[in-house]
């Protein structure tokens, strides 16, 4: 077991009562299941946004220990953090860049995304000044309207790369807007547009760079998009991208979010609980306090909707969720200080095992699972279960 995000902690007993437990072996199993599903396509795990809340550095080190061919992140800073932690695996930074950042990419051996001829010229100049060759992936916009050269204007960018002496085009990619939907008409149109752009290489008798387009939704339900490389994000962590997406790959959640009761009280009828006095009981109830709140990423929007697990049984969160605490109505049941509370994960009772999923929290908060995972604050310690040694970092 290894503990991250809290360097002074050495044992479970020292942990803040609220923490995440990350099962690295499950991440490994999910990666293996995805790889088996996509066949010959290479799997590039996406570790952006603190590895979807699971911890960028430790997950990056673990992915390297499994021998993945490359890793994807969103920002330059994420790539630098991985390099500083000893991750030497090739890293593609998928997000847009400022030209002034190019020297830092080169300094840390990071692969850049180039989305326009102007960006290409900036990278070429920086690489020439440094006396190196920059590896880049070209971003083609086939329908997302975020970053990337439009598919119908892409030829100029591709031609410009042929004139560069200090840029190696390692890959070319696009991104889906609707690959996790039930109706895949739009996604298939995006594939067709991307294929149109790729014909440039055949027409000029040039080798085609690594082609990639498939995110988690496309991994699940668009085989025609797998090409040379796939980019699973949320699926790697055992969460499906939407309720509509096919469950064609069996994955398991790698994260358990737990806390412990820090206070127990009997609340009389007619005595409101928490800010705004939004909830009160018409009879005497037992209420326990849990030291986690929206300051940790347990969304205030779940007030009056969320549930937690205590000894395999569901109980409602009552009153407004506070920044650092919330309250749970256990009616006339028994619970004690330091009893475990499960916010996400499984809880075993005497005769039953119950679970609460990231998708449950998303439904209560009126959002998507991605937002739940990526909003779990870094003040929540991460505890790692692993199936093989990792390098220190």
CB atoms within 10 A of CB 385: 14
The catalytic position among 48, 119, 135, 311 is: 48
CB atoms within 10 A of CB 182: 11
Whether 201 is a known active-site residue: answer no
What's the residue count for the chain? 393
For residue 98, the SS3 value is coil
CB atoms within 10 A of CB 391: 11
CB atoms within 10 A of CB 130: 14
The answer to whether residues 219 and 230 touch, using CB atoms and an 8 Å cutoff, is yes
Q: How far apart are CA 192 and CA 196, in angstroms?
A: 6
DSSP secondary structure, 22-81, as one string: EEHHHHHHHHHHHHHHHTTSEE--B-HHHHHTT-HHHHHHHHHHTT-S-EEESSHHHHHH
Q: Which position has the token pair 């088996």?
A: 36
Whether 275 is a known active-site residue: answer yes
The answer to whether residues 259 and 292 touch, using CB atoms and an 8 Å cutoff, is yes
User: Rounded to 10 degrees, what is the CA torsion of 382, 385, 389, 393?
Assistant: 0
The catalytic position among 152, 263, 265, 275 is: 275
Q: Hey, which residues are catalytic here?
A: 48, 275
């Amino acid at each position: 077991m290894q503990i991250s995000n809290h360097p002074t902690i050495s044992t479970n007993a020292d942990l803040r009562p609220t923490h995440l437990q990350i099962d690295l072996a499950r991440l490994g199993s999910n990666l293996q299941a995805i790889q088996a599903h996509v066949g010959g396509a290479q799997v590039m795990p996406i570790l952006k946004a603190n590895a979807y809340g699971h911890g960028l550095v430790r997950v990056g080190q673990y992915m390297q220990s499994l021998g993945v061919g490359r890793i994807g992140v969103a920002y330059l800073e994420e790539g630098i953090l991985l390099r500083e932690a000893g991750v030497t695996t090739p890293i593609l930074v998928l997000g847009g860049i400022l030209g002034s950042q190019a020297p830092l990419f080169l300094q840390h051996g990071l692969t850049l995304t180039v989305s326009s001829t102007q960006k290409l010229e900036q990278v070429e100049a920086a690489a020439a000044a440094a006396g190196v060759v920059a590896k880049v992936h070209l971003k083609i916009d086939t329908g997302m309207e975020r970053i990337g050269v439009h598919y119908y204007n892409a030829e100029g960018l591709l031609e410009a790369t042929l004139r560069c002496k200090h840029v190696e085009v390692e890959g070319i990619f696009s991104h889906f807007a609707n690959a996790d939907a039930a109706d895949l008409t739009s996604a298939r149109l995006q594939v067709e547009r991307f294929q149109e752009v790729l014909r440039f290489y055949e027409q000029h008798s040039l080798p085609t760079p690594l082609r990639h387009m498939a995110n988690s939704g496309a991994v699940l339900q668009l085989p025609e998009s797998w090409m040379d490389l796939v980019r699973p994000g949320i699926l790697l962590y055992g969460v499906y991208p939407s309720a509509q997406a096919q469950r064609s790959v069996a994955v398991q959640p790698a994260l358990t979010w737990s806390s412990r009761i820090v206070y127990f009280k009997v609340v009389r009828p007619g005595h409101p609980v928490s800010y705004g006095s939004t909830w009160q009981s018409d009879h005497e109830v037992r209420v326990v306090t849990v030291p986690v709140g929206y300051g940790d990423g347990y969304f205030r929007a779940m007030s009056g909707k969320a549930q937690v697990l205590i000894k395999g049984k569901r109980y409602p969160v009552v009153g407004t969720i506070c920044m650092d605490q919330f309250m749970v109505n256990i009616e006339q049941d028994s619970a004690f200080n330091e009893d475990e509370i499960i916010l996400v994960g499984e809880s075993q009772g005497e005769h039953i095992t119950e679970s609460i999923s990231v998708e449950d929290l998303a439904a209560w908060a009126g959002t998507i699972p991605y937002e739940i995972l990526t909003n779990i604050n870094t003040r929540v310690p991460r505890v790692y279960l692993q199936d093989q040694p990792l390098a220190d970092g």
